[in-house]
Structure 1
Amino acid sequence: MPSWAELPIGRVVRLDADPDAVALALDPLPDDAPAVVTYFAAEERSVADLAASVLRELDKAAIALFPAWLPGAEGIEGPSGMNVAAVQALARGRASVTGHFGPFLAELARRALTGGPSGLAPEVRAAGLVRVLADSFGRARLAILVRVPDELGTAAREVLVAGCEWLAHRGRAGVWLAGAPLDDDRVRTVPVPLPAAFDGAGEAVPVPATADQAPAVAYPPVAGRPHPGSASERALEAALSSRAWAGGRAWNQTYRPGPLAVPIRVDLLWERERCVVEIDGPDHRAPAKFAADRQRDVLLQLDGYAVLRFSDGQVLTDMDTVVRQIGQFLRNRRRAEG
C-alpha cells in the first residue's frame, strides 16, 4: 500500500477507493499528503470548457484563501490604491525568493482586494494557481481530487480525461479521479492508503444537494481561521469576536488523541476549557461521515473534551441561541475549575 506521498503528481490516475472514504481520510490532511482540493466534475462540451471551469473554481478558492499564500498581507483589506500597491509589492518580493511567477502572483494579490477576472493565459494560471493553493496549506505539492458523477456520457468522459491530462501537465498537479468508473485505458488505477478506520466507509450514501447548494470545489480550512467557504463559521466568528468570554478560541485545529491514533480536525476549540464546537453541514448526515463524527466525539470525550454540535442552519438562523449555549458552557466550566 503506497503512502500519500507516493501517489502520482503531474499525471492523471484513478483512486481505487470510495470517494467518501477518501474525503474522510484526508480530513485533516495527513502529514505526508499534498494539499488536496476537490473538484466536483460536471458535463462539459470541450476540453477548453473543462479547463476554464476548473481554473475558475481554483481561482475562487485562491482568492478566498488570501492571505494564507502571501505572508505579510494579514490585515490588508479593501481595494484602496495603497492596499493594492502594498500587496503587489509583497507578491513581487515573494516571487523573487520562491520561484513563483511574479506577474501572476501580483495580479492575483491585486484581484484578492479588487475582484475582477484574470487577464493571463490559461497555462500561466494553471501553474500559478496550483502553487498558490499548495502554499496556502504549507505543502510543496497539490492534488486535485476530481469526483466523477455517474451520469456522464461517453463523450463527456473523454472530455473529462483529456481536460484532466491538460491540467496535470500544465499545472504540475496530481489529478486523482474518484467515483464513477471511466473505462479509459489512459488512466491507471492506484491503491489508496486509507486508515483501517475507514475500511467500512465504502457503502456511504452521499446526502443529495440541490444545484445551488452543491459546491463546485471544496478545500481544507487553514489552521487558525474560519473556513472561508463556510458562511456559518465566518458568521459565528463575527458573533464571538465582540464577546470577552470567547477569548482563547482557535479555529480548525488538529488534535491527536494518542500517538497511534488518527488525528482529528475540530472546527472550533477552547483548549483550556476542553471544549470543542462542531458546525455540521448537510454532508454530516451521510452514513460514513455520521459514523465518523460519533467515533471522533467518543475519542474526544474520553480525553475530557465536551463536544457541542450545531448545524449550519442553527448558526445562520438562530445565532443568539448558539452563542448563548457556548457561553453558558464555558462559564460553567471555568467556574468548576475555580
Structure 2
Amino acid sequence: MPSSGESPAAARPRLTPAAFARRAAGLGRGERLTVIGLTRDGVGAMLAAGEVDRGVLLVASEDLHSSAAVIDRLLDDLAELALVRWPDWPGRDGSIPDAATSGASAPWLKAAGAEAASGRPPRFRRMTRALEFEQLLRAVDASSVILVAEVDPVSPARARAVIEALEWCAGRGAACVLALPAEPPDTPPYDRTLYGACTIGRALAPVAERFIAPRSQAHPASEAERRVEAALAKDPELTGLFSGNEIVQVAGHGQQPRVDLVCRRHRIVVEIDGPEHQVNPKFRRDRHRDYELLVAGYLVLRLTNDEVADDLQRAIEKIRAVVRLRLHPSSGDTTR
C-alpha cells in the first residue's frame, strides 16, 4: 500500500528494461502484467531487445469497439501465424504435430494440418472461440505465446474492449501484457488492471545522444562534404557522431570558425579541403585555425577533395581511426 500522501502511481515499482523483459518472460499460464508508460510497440521492442525465449504477439485492436471483435481479430491473426509457421508446429513429427507433445487435440491437429498443408489458415468458425483459441495458441508456440495489447488510457469504452478481451485470453491460459501509454484514472475499467502494475525506469542518455542533427548541413557547394556526410550516416559505428557546417567555439573574441564536420562528443573536427586551401592566404589561415581548435581541445583531421573522390572508404577509415583514438587514447592501435 502506498504511504500516506503518496499516490498509487508514485508507489509503482520501476523496472529496468532488462528486468521488465525477464518479468514478462516469466509470466505463467493465465498470468497478466500491466506496464504504464509504454505503447504496445514499445513493449514489443523491449521484449525483442531482451531476447525473450518465448513467442510474443502484438495484439491488433485498432478500430475495434468490442471484446468479441478483438478476440475474433486475434483468432484470425493466430490462424495466419499458424499457417506461416507450418509445418514447424511444436511437437510435429511427420506430417502432423504430435498431440501428446503439443497439448493440442488430435482431431484439431489433423484438420488444421490439412488446412495448412493446402495453404489455408486453420480457422474453424464453427468451433467455440475458447477451444479454437487454445488450439491455435499451442500450435504457434507450445511454451505459450505472450500476448501484448495496448489499452487506451483516455477512453474507457475503447479500453474496456481490450481489457475484457485480454481477461478472456488469460482465462484460457494465455500470458498477457497490458500496455498503458499513460497513467489512467483508478476507475472502471482500469481499476482491475492496475494491481501489481509497473513502470519502466530509464537512465537519461547523454545530451549528444538525445540531439537529432538536421538531415544535412554540408556546404551546398561541396560535393566532397556531402559524400563524406552521407557515408558517415550509413556507417554503424560513426552514424550520429558528426554534424556538418557548424560553428565551434574557441578562445578569443574574433570570428568563431565554421568547420566542415564536427563531433562534439569526442571533440573531433574534420576539414575537407579543395585545392584553394593549398596556397596562401587560405593555407596560412587554416594553420592558425587548426591551432585555435587544438587549444580548444579539438583534434583536427584534414582530408582533401581528391582523397574523398579517389577512395571514399579510406577517408572514412581515417575518421574512424581518429574517433577510436579519442575513445582509447592509451592505445596506439585504432584498428581493433
Which TM-score band (shorter chain)? Answer: 0.3 to 0.5
TM (normalized to structure 2)?
A: 0.46
Larger radius of gyration: 2
